[in-house]
């Protein structure tokens, strides 16, 4: 705390003439340059420290206002330099108000007792009845939350992480709150036991209890009109607006909650969005999106997920209570009015259409459609791999990352094809091939695959495997300089060893080998301090190296190819195989995009005209197929990959 001095007798007299009151002026200390003319109609109590008010503040283009304190009650507070406080109806009590903060038309802003400001609150994710509680704190990542949620079979790990979170919460426990530098609080009712970070905006909130609004100048956080929040944490760059209700929940970096959305006992991580509908006991991993009033997400785990209008799930069979849960793996979608009865597990990048009551586990068949037919669940394997929508989703996520700062908590693997989904695909391919051998439908507990879809699924999965497993090889050849096969083999040697038997897992956005996760859990169980952020960052940075090592071993296992023993001609053949897979998949996506410009898609255009006007109306609104940005991207991707393949082949043919 900087140097403060006592008020002079003349200053006390001037303050009293300004209709200011205090039972003991000796408890009020001020900056040496304190300006008595900037304090009017203020009641002081307890120990109060006042800064130097000398600047002029302009709010939202309105008439400039002089910093200072007006028409308010201040109790046990430090008010820093050039703060503007006006019209606090009840009081500000027990707060440090940092420089350039603005507080106007607020009823109550109080720290009532010692508080952890939302840190350490238990959130009942997945199971409404408890058993998978995640203790939230300011720096909680989706990965730490994933381990706390799903690794209950490692109780010592859970216990030690909870001790770490408890210590973190105890360390910040205080009976003094903080209003950050440059923050803006206005037109709000009751704010109690809440920390508000730098440059945050709280405008029109109805009730905020026991929470932290983390914020920074680079990534300001916002709470808007009509919001009610209790036992909550908002991370940097988040927003909760439009009368939304947040209870016992964490809203992650860059996430947005609005339009009367209701969040209860849930975790929304980086860049997730919730509008209009309702979430109860969900784990919303990065890029979970739900935009429709009729949509309920309950007791589920999601990431890179898009919920269709009217889609919902059930976790209650009216027997032992709401104890069931569901897992929807990354990149999946639910169509309008779809329904899933938990428990169920939906494979990565799948589309769920219709109503499903049979508790399916489709995790071995990623990139599929899951459809209802006569109240039965059928799966169409691999078909999402040729969908332009799947590719569009995968490309947009990285572009829509709202986290405008360096210190991000959730480390995200964006790759559409990755070891996590590839290993599932390998298992699914084995099952499909078995079906061809027996010439029959595939029937599982909860769903079936018709013979008509099996061969197409095999082809799509094989193309995806070729594309993924050979991609690293082509990239190494393209970007490296070598004079002979010996030098090339040295370049191809992996920096990190991950064998083909390694199981990969997706820990809420970050894809890693399970072994290193177990090593971390072992360390924490043995009492080592969980340096989660550094560990997750290291895993994220090493992702491509780990993938390359695993791919080399997988090529040896699946294709009987040892890239360290193949000659130049065999390497050329592998590059050509990769090019064929990439181009063939891209052409399927290109043809899928054409459907959006077919005659059927033009229904409703040219509403009062003939066929010619219909075509012109469609063209002026939607544009031409060849000029559509996504179509251009596909065409450019094909050309680029052909160029890459040709370059790699020329380099290989040029070595001795």
In the chain, what are the helix, strand and coil shares in percent, each to the nearest 5? 35, 25, 40
Per-residue three-class SS string for 577-634? HHHHHHHHHHHHHHHHHHHHHCHHHHCCCCCCCCHHHHHHHHHHHHCCHHHCHHHHHH
Label residue 63 by pLDDT band (50, 70, 90). confident
pLDDT > 90 in the chain, percent = 79
Look at residue 137 and tell me whether its pLDDT is greater than 90: yes
Q: What is the pLDDT of residue 326?
A: 94
Label residue 426 by pLDDT band (50, 70, 90). very high
pLDDT > 70 in the chain, percent = 99
* CA gap 534, 229 in Å, rounded: 31
Look at residue 134 and tell me whether its pLDDT is greater than 70: yes
> Which segment, 244-248, 475-479, 559-563, is predicted with the most confidence on average?
244-248
Q: What is the pLDDT of residue 594?
A: 82
Look at residue 284 and tell me whether its pLDDT is greater than 80: yes
What value does the mean pLDDT of the chain take? 93
* CA gap 464, 457 in Å, rounded: 11
* CA gap 397, 391 in Å, rounded: 10
Residue-wise pLDDT tens digits, 391-408 = 877 888 888 898 877 689
Q: What is the pLDDT of residue 523?
A: 95
Residue range 1-107, CATH number: 2.160.10
Mean pLDDT of 271-299: 95
Residue-wise pLDDT tens digits, 589-628 = 888 888 877 767 778 787 777 877 777 877 788 778 788 8
Q: What is the pLDDT of residue 400?
A: 87
* CA gap 380, 307 in Å, rounded: 20
pTM: 0.94
Look at residue 203 and tell me whether its pLDDT is greater than 90: yes
* CA gap 453, 381 in Å, rounded: 7
Q: What is the pLDDT of residue 610?
A: 80
Mean pLDDT of 426-455: 90
Look at residue 323 and tell me whether its pLDDT is greater than 90: no
Label residue 341 by pLDDT band (50, 70, 90). very high
Label residue 389 by pLDDT band (50, 70, 90). confident
Cβ-contact 485, 568 below 8 angstroms: yes
Q: What are the structural domain ranges in the chain?
A: 1-107, 568-653
Residue-wise pLDDT tens digits, 492-534 = 999 999 888 889 999 999 999 999 999 999 999 999 887 899 9
pLDDT top residue among 129 and 66: 66
Label residue 656 by pLDDT band (50, 70, 90). low
Mean pLDDT of 341-360: 95
Q: 3-class DSSP state for residue 295?
A: coil
* CA gap 134, 521 in Å, rounded: 16
Cβ-contact 7, 28 below 8 angstroms: yes
């Amino acid at each position: 705390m900087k140097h403060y001095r006592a008020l002079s007798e003349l200053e006390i007299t001037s303050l009293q003439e300004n209709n200011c009151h205090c039972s003991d002026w000796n408890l009020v200390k001020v900056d040496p340059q304190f300006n008595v003319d900037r304090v009017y109609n203020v009641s002081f109590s307890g120990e109060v420290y006042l800064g130097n008010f000398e600047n002029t503040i302009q709010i939202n283009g309105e008439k400039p206002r002089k910093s200072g304190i007006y028409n308010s009650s201040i109790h046990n507070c430090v008010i820093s330099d050039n703060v503007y406080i006006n019209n606090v109806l009840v009081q500000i009590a027990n707060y440090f108000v940092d420089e350039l903060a603005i507080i106007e038309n607020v009823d109550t802003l109080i720290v009532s007792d010692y508080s952890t400001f939302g840190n350490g609150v238990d959130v009942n994710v997945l199971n409404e009845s408890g058993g998978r509680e995640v203790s939230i704190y300011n720096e909680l990542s989706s990965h730490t939350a994933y381990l706390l949620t799903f690794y209950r079979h490692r109780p010592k790990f859970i216990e030690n992480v909870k001790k770490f979170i408890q210590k973190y919460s105890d360390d910040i426990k205080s009976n003094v709150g903080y209003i950050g530098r440059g923050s803006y609080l206005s037109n709000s009712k009751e704010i109690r036991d809440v920390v508000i970070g730098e440059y945050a905006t709280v405008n029109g909130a109805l009730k905020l209890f026991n929470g932290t609004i983390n914020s920074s100048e680079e990534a300001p956080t916002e709470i808007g009109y009509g919001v009610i929040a209790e036992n909550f944490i908002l991370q940097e760059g988040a927003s909760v607006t439009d009368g939304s209700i947040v209870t016992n929940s964490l809203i992650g970096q860059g996430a947005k909650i609005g339009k009367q959305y209701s969040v209860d006992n849930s975790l929304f991580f980086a860049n997730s969005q919730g509008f209009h509908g309702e979430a109860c006991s969900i784990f919303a991993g990065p890029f979970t999106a739900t935009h429709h009033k009729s949509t309920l997400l309950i007791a589920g785990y999601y990431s890179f997920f898009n919920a269709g209008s009217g889609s919902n799930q059930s976790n209650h069979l009216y027997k032992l209570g709401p104890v069931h849960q569901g897992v929807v793996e990354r990149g999946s979608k639910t169509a309008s009015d779809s329904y899933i009865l938990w428990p169920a597990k939906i494979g990565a990048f799948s589309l769920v259409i219709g109503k499903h009551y049979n508790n399916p586990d489709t995790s071995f068949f990623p990139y599929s459609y899951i459809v209802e037919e006569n109240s039965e669940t059928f799966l169409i394997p691999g078909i999402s791999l040729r969908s332009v929508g799947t590719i569009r989703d995968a490309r947009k996520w990285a572009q829509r990352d709202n986290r405008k700062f360096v210190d991000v908590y959730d480390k995200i693997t964006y790759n559409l094809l990755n070891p996590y989904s590839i290993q599932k695909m390998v298992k699914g391919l084995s099952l499909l091939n078995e079906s061809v051998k027996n010439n029959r439908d595939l029937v599982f507990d909860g769903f079936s695959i018709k013979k008509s879809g099996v061969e197409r699924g095999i082809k799509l999965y094989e193309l995806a495997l070729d594309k993924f497993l050979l991609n690293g090889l082509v990239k190494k050849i393209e970007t490296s300089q070598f004079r002979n096969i010996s030098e090339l083999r040295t370049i191809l040697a992996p920096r990190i060893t991950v064998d083909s038997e390694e199981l990969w897992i997706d820990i809420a956005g970050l894809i890693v080998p399970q072994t290193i996760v177990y090593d971390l859990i072992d360390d924490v169980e043995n009492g080592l301090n969980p340096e989660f952020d550094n560990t997750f960052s290291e895993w994220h940075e090493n992702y491509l190296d780990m993938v390359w090592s695993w791919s080399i071993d997988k090529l040896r296992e699946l294709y009987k190819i040892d890239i360290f023993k193949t000659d130049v001609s065999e390497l050329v053949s592998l590059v050509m195989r990769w090019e064929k897979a990439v181009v063939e998949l891209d052409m399927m996506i290109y043809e899928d995009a054409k459907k959006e410009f077919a005659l059927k898609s033009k229904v409703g255009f040219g509403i009062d005209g003939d066929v010619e006007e219909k075509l012109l109306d469609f063209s002026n609104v939607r544009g031409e197929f060849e000029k559509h940005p996504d179509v251009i991207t596909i065409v450019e991707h094909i050309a680029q990959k052909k160029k890459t393949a040709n370059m790699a082949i020329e380099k290989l043919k040029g070595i001795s």
